Amino acid sequence: ITKRLFNRRNQFAFNIVPVPEDELEPTHAYSRDWERKHDLFALQYETNGERLFVFAPQQRAWAAYNEQGQLVDSGIASGGGIYCEDIGRPCLTPEGQFKITRKGSITCSSNLYRTAMPMCMFFHTRGFAIHGAEEVPGSENISHGCVRVNLHASIWLNTQFLSIGSQVLVLPYSD
């Protein structure tokens, strides 16, 4: 089964196809203590020769593609919530294509929300980032707009996979 997702302006399409777990090997040395989500993503994706991080808010999952467009890894993720009670407004992760603009360390934190954002990788001028979290709710998007991934996954993404300028693709929340 292949499903195509388009943004509101039909600027890109993304195929989601099942991938057998035994067809893929981890390409990094970190222990695999996060749940893979390879079955939600295409094995190959056109990356224009750059590394690519994809966040799929509907599936609450992320994928990493190398320069050759091969799926390297994936896992659960949580993005911005439909509504954040503490700030009284929607806080969805912005959809579209972005680039990593700066990276932080294990001590990265949010001044605005006074919360830890370990291994942060910023991709938006309004402060949205991919970052680690001790717990990532795989059942709902509940952040203030950042993309939360497993802490060990964020360490790998930050130190081994994503660089300043790497591509970030945030897919739509709905079809």
pLDDT in tens, 102-111: 999 999 988 8
pLDDT at 98: 98
Over the Cα atoms of the chain, what is R_g?
15
Neighbours of 23 (CB within 10 A): 9
Percent above pLDDT 90 for the chain? 61
Q: Is the pLDDT of residue 40 over 50?
A: yes
What's the whole-number average pLDDT of the chain?
82
- Location of structure tokens 């954040």: 84
Give the contacts of 143 (CB within 8 A, at least 6 positions apart): 78, 79, 80, 81, 91, 93
* pLDDT at residue number 34: 57
Mean pLDDT of the region 119-135? 93
> Counting beta carbons within 10 angstroms of the beta carbon of residue 86, is it exposed (0 to 12), middle (13 to 18) or buried (19 or more)?
exposed
Check whether 146 has a pLDDT greater than 60. Answer: yes
Q: How many CB atoms lie within 10 A of CB 53?
A: 24
